[in-house]
């Protein structure tokens, strides 16, 4: 019961909160939420990953040129689950959550930059606003 109450309050807050995106599509299958996170970048290299550098913690294959991110586990609990669509301030297009980060990270995303290590270094680490889509059907069952 408390969870349902919390989700209804969150929904109302979502309606009142200004998002990073300039315009939200009313016909979208998602309700969009926003959060400011620390963003860094990562590559498909053995040095930067644990295990196979081309397989994510969710079991997906990483392919250079795809728009993927990894998220800290606290963001998973906020709704940024596997395959959640994400719009990142300063980037074109929609990214998908395809990986999760080590438990030590909080309020953090890692932007997948394929094998381009120089691009990842140039990005560095910075605070950005992200918008992420929460499926509307999660709210319609309450």
pLDDT tens for residues 43-57? 887 776 667 778 888
Determine the pLDDT at residue 117.
Answer: 92
Residue 86: count of CB within 10 angstroms of its CB: 22
Can you spell out the DSSP letters for 39-105? EEEE-S-GGGSSS-TTB-TTSPBP-TTS-EEEE-HHHHHTT--TT-EEEETTS-S-EEEEEE--TT-
Determine the pLDDT at residue 140.
Answer: 60
Residues of the chain scoring pLDDT < 50: 2-18
Residue 25 Rama label (left phi>0; alpha psi -120 to 50; beta): beta
Query: For the chain, what is the mean pLDDT?
Result: 82
C-alpha 109 chain-centroid distance? 6
Determine the pLDDT at residue 108.
Answer: 97
């Amino acid at each position: 019961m408390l969870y349902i109450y919390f989700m209804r309050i969150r929904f109302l807050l979502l309606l009142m909160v200004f998002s990073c995106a300039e315009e939200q599509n009313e016909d979208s299958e998602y309700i969009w939420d926003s959060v400011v996170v620390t963003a860094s970048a990562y590559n498909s290299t053995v040095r930067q990953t644990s295990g196979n550098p081309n397989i994510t913690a969710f079991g997906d294959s990483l392919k250079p040129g795809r728009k993927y991110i990894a998220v800290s586990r606290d963001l998973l609990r906020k709704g940024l689950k596997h395959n959640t669509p994400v719009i990142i301030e300063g980037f074109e297009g929609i990214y998908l959550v395809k990986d999760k980060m080590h438990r030590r990270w909080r309020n953090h995303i890692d932007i997948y930059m394929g094998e381009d290590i120089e691009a990842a270094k140039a990005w560095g680490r910075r605070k950005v606003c992200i918008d992420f889509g929460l499926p509307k059907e999660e709210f319609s069952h309450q």
